[in-house]
């Protein structure tokens, strides 16, 4: 009897360890996040991101679509395996700033319909949930 209970408890704990602990589970899912401010300056080009699946991040910069992996637990933020299309457009400099900032972000916070990505070096990205 004790062995059965111990085995059941172990399996339950292991199943709990497999839960999605990323930003998606803490308010990021089911929303499209639009970048409105980068380092204290209004971001006037369209840049959005979503959390379409567990440990995944995807979106659009001003020119290109992107996707990446997000595996660190909330409130940490780290994108890996970042891929994007390679189209040119007049807003390519703004897109480069957006992609570079996403890659440099290390801390995340969601406050209702506002998401902030930042790092200890002073980076701040402010997103609003888009309608």
Confidence (pLDDT) at 7: 43
Mean pLDDT, range 108-114, rounded to an integer:
94
For residue 40, how many other CB atoms are within 10 A of its CB? 8
Check residues 3 and 121 and name the one with the higher pLDDT.
121
Mean pLDDT, range 69-80, rounded to an integer:
92
Cα–Cα dist 85/97, whole Å:
16
Confidence (pLDDT) at 18: 56
The single-letter DSSP state of residue 16 is H
76-106 burial string, b = 16+ CB within 10 Å, else e?
A: ebbbeeeebeeeeeebeebbebbbebbebbb
Mean pLDDT, range 42-57, rounded to an integer:
94
> Considering the entire predicted model, what is its pTM?
0.82
- Residue 23, C-beta contacts closer than 8 angstroms, at least 6 positions apart: 51, 70, 74, 75, 77, 108, 110, 115
Cα–Cα dist 51/43, whole Å:
21
Confidence (pLDDT) at 21: 77
Percent of the chain clearing pLDDT 70 (strictly above): 84
Q: What is the pLDDT of residues 6-37, one digit of tens each?
A: 444 444 444 445 577 777 777 788 899 999 99
Q: 3: pLDDT confidence band, cut at 50, 70 and 90?
A: low
Q: 69: pLDDT confidence band, cut at 50, 70 and 90?
A: very high
């Amino acid at each position: 009897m004790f062995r059965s209970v111990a085995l059941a408890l172990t399996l339950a704990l292991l199943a709990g360890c497999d839960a999605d602990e990323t930003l998606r589970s803490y308010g990021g899912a089911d929303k499209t996040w639009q970048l409105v401010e980068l380092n204290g300056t209004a971001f006037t080009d369209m840049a959005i991101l979503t959390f379409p699946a567990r440990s995944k991040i995807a979106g659009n910069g001003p020119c290109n679509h992107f996707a990446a992996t997000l595996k660190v637990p909330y409130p940490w933020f780290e994108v890996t395996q970042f891929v994007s299309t390679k189209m040119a457009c007049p807003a390519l400099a703004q897109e480069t700033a957006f992609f570079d900032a996403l890659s440099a972000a290390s801390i995340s916070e969601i406050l209702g319909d506002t998401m902030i990505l930042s790092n200890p070096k002073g980076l701040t990205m402010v997103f609003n949930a888009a309608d």
